[in-house]
Amino acid sequence: MFEFTVLATEDRARSGLLRTPHGMIHTPVFAPVGTQASVKAVTPEQLSSVGTSLLLANTYHLYLRPGFEIVRDQGGLHNFMNWSGPILTDSGGFQVFSLSKKNNIDDEGVTFKSHIDGSTHRFTPEIAVEVQNNLGADIIMAFDQCPEPYNRATNERAMVRTHDWVLRCKSAHNSTNQALFGIVQGGIFPDLRLESARFIAELDLPGNAIGGLSVGESKEELQSMTKLVAGILPAGKPRYLMGVGSPAELVSAISNGVDMFDCVLPTRLARHAAAMTRSKQMNMKKSIYANDNKPIDIECCCYCCVNFSRAYIRHLCKAKEILGATLLTIHNLHMLHDMMKDIRNAITAGEFVTWKQTFMDNINL
């Protein structure tokens, strides 16, 4: 049901194939975020057309609304949202800590108030696994504590707690067609990251994630912690860097041996009138695009770039038409998926180092 094969490597970068119950995933792969069983502004058919092979849905949000029992009774996430491809659910840990204005963390779990109606709820590792088992995703995440990155004492406590919780998640997990991933924590402290990576690696789970990054640390710290942890995690298991989605950060992490990514960045930027290219972001509300008949990216073959001008996209964004967000979402996701495909091909051909240098040169223009 679940198998990962490394097909090619160049330095630490690798191209692979991840088998799941709902299909194959070619890695490196970027997963759009469908927080509430929906990637904002686009349909499942549109997601498929731009090359999406893996989606992420959010355990915390679906637990609160509509409730995991409803999703279960509707046949699970795949049937509920009409998506036939692989799905990954996070554990809800990050949202429990970041969205709740008041939460109480102890060694057993977290008591928190809903951001929707203020009602009180309790999450434990066992509950997080139960919810994800019922949602029916192909890949589920262990419940972890994601602290701010710079307080050492807080990160030490969170790491110990995360290690205890992943053991409890492993014991509670009873679905044979779902892969449970562990999560490495440790903030920006190299010794804690090494300790956590070694602990998670020894559990021999189907895959492993690098958590607690892209939460306020510098780009240099993000890259150094990623490189450190990826060097410890098993080569025969997929490595997943959580919450990273800019082209430069993706390329850097792939260079360090990471296989999987997710982020709200491309869809959030689209809803704020920003188009992504491999080298820059474009504010489509700028007046310079008012009478520009070129596509967003002349080298892009997405539905948006093939059919519409910068002038039209600017008009939609200025007029606050929903179609503007849809077309920009299609473009931004297509751009990232297309970049990932080029990276996989470059690694397979033994040309990734050259590809990366050209990519970096274009960014620095």
Q: Are 248 and 215 in contact (CB under 8 A)?
A: no
Tokens (6 digits) for 321: 């038409």
Q: Specify the CATH number of the domain 3-263.
A: 3.20.20.105
**Torsion angle (degrees, nearest 10) of CA 22, 26, 31, 34:** -20
- CA 196/CA 212 separation, integer angstroms: 12
Could you tell me whether strands 87-90 and 179-184 are parallel, antiparallel, or unpaired per DSSP bridges?
A: unpaired
Element (H, E) at 179: strand 179-184
In 10 A of CB 5, how many CB atoms? 11
Is a pLDDT exceeding 90 seen at residue 2? yes
Active-site choice (11, 90, 204, 297): 90
Q: Is 361 a catalytic residue?
A: no
The predicted pLDDT at position 130 comes to 98
Sequence-distant (6+) residues with CB within 8 A of 118 are: none
Span 253-292, pLDDT tens digits = 999 999 999 999 999 999 999 999 999 999 999 999 999 9
Which residue is it, tokens 């919450």? 243
The predicted pLDDT at position 1 comes to 84
In 10 A of CB 219, how many CB atoms? 12
Bridge partner list, 18 = 4, 25
- CA 177/CA 199 separation, integer angstroms: 24
Peptide bond before residue 66 is cis, with ω within 30 degrees of 0: yes
Q: Is 106 a catalytic residue?
A: no
Span 118-165, pLDDT tens digits = 999 999 999 999 999 999 999 999 999 999 999 999 999 999 999 999
Return the percentage of the chain with pLDDT > 70, whole number.
99
Is a pLDDT exceeding 70 seen at residue 365? no
Give how far Cα 317 sits from Cα of 273, 284, 303, 324, 331, Å: 6, 7, 17, 5, 14
- CA 175/CA 159 separation, integer angstroms: 26
Sequence-distant (6+) residues with CB within 8 A of 358 are: none
Phi first, then psi, for residue 97 (nearest 5°) are -85, -30
- What does the domain layout of the chain look like in residue ranges? 3-263, 264-353
Tokens (6 digits) for 225: 């912690």
Span 82-105, pLDDT tens digits = 999 999 999 988 888 777 667 889
The predicted pLDDT at position 100 comes to 64
Active-site choice (144, 259, 262, 297): 262
Bridge partner list, 24 = 19
Span 205-247, pLDDT tens digits = 999 999 999 999 999 999 999 999 999 999 999 999 999 999 9
pTM summary value: 0.97
- CA 342/CA 194 separation, integer angstroms: 32
Q: What is the mean pLDDT of the chain?
A: 96
